[in-house]
Structure 1
Amino acid sequence: MLLLALDTATPAVTVALHDGAGVVAESHQVDARRHGELLLPAVDRVLREAGVSLDAVTGFVVGVGPGPYTGLRVGLATAAAFGAATGAPVHGLCTLDGIAYAAGQAGLEGPFTVATDARRKEVYWARYADPRTRATEPAVDRPADIAGQVAGHPAVGAGALLYREVFTDVPDGMPEHQSAAALAALAAEKLVTGGEFLPERPLYLRRPDARVPVNYKVVTPR
């Protein structure tokens, strides 16, 4: 097994190579505006550090979100292209699941909430029974609207840090953004145990900003 994991659904541009036993090499950079610029050099750096070629990879793991459209599509398109070029399968995982798994690696047992910054004064979030078990579907909401649902349990992620008035228990040392190393480790577990993956399609949770205008004047001949 040799899994190349990547995720661009959060401000982190994160890539890791996992051999089924552990992470062989990884790259992690936080820059919300340069996903497209940083991702391929990060992949190249990870493969060179591990001393393997892309053709040696037996599977690709990609975070499918939720996340903003511009960043999220970079990782998904790249993973799809790698899969098409090599013939290796592409495994989709919820980005929040990767952060939850990383929280477990940092010592958090559960239950807890994962919340990332969705911008527009909202968060992408989900509740977890434990680091491997998501208890609710991913959602996007204003923090104040979910205060009752997240009260009484710890929370992790950039969204939790941003809205401390709602997420009042944010333990120290927990992940803020996605980690491809955690995502790869979670995927490796699922492949061994027969766990389920998601289609490599983006999980946006929002309607697109661009819409077809209504009541516009037709200027072409009929």
Structure 2
Amino acid sequence: MLLAGLVGVRPRERVVDLGTGCAVIPLIVAYRGQGRSVVGVELQPELVRLARKNVEVNGFVDSIRILEADFKEITSSFPPGTFDLVLSNPPYRRLASGRMNAVRQKAVARHELAGSAEDVFRAASHLLVQGGRLALIYPASRVGLLFVLARRYGFNAKRFTVIHSNASEPARLVYFECRKGGGEELLVTAPFFIYREDGGPTDAMRALYEA
């Protein structure tokens, strides 16, 4: 939800969501009438079935395509420069870190079992046109890795937002947007707070849901 709300999809962009899960991001993009087309790529067959069902139930079969594929091998599914915008919430924990969830779906989403941030950058470098955008949400504690990977795969960081649960807690997440090629100017936006101190959603968070 955060990623779909923060990215700002442009009307004519061809969009692909890597590791789409149950297709929440493609559904939000399509519901808002954003982008020219949306593809969700998912490796796990059970989630592919759920994603396709969600697309059908919500009436977006003509605007959203769900592809069962491993985005680490995406070159066999799409020619270079197929998309204008790549979105992803990549797995954020190293295999040797943290407690791994016993439910495989959740474990794959959180740990680097089936893909990593580097795999996302590598796939995006193939999928995007020159000047195309890659946008993702990632843990603040690992943000240095994003700048390293951007440079490694030919991207320049363009927009950076620190995300806090509330104003009294340290940042847990970041929004990171980069462009394939292009200049080096980086926009660091104001911090994004999800909750007020009383536990309710902030105006900025409500605006994402109501957009």
Is the shorter-chain TM-score for this pair beyond 0.5, marking a shared fold?
no
Q: TM-score range by the shorter chain?
A: under 0.3
RCO comparison, higher one (Cα < 8 Å, 6+): 1
What TM-score, normalized to structure 1? 0.25
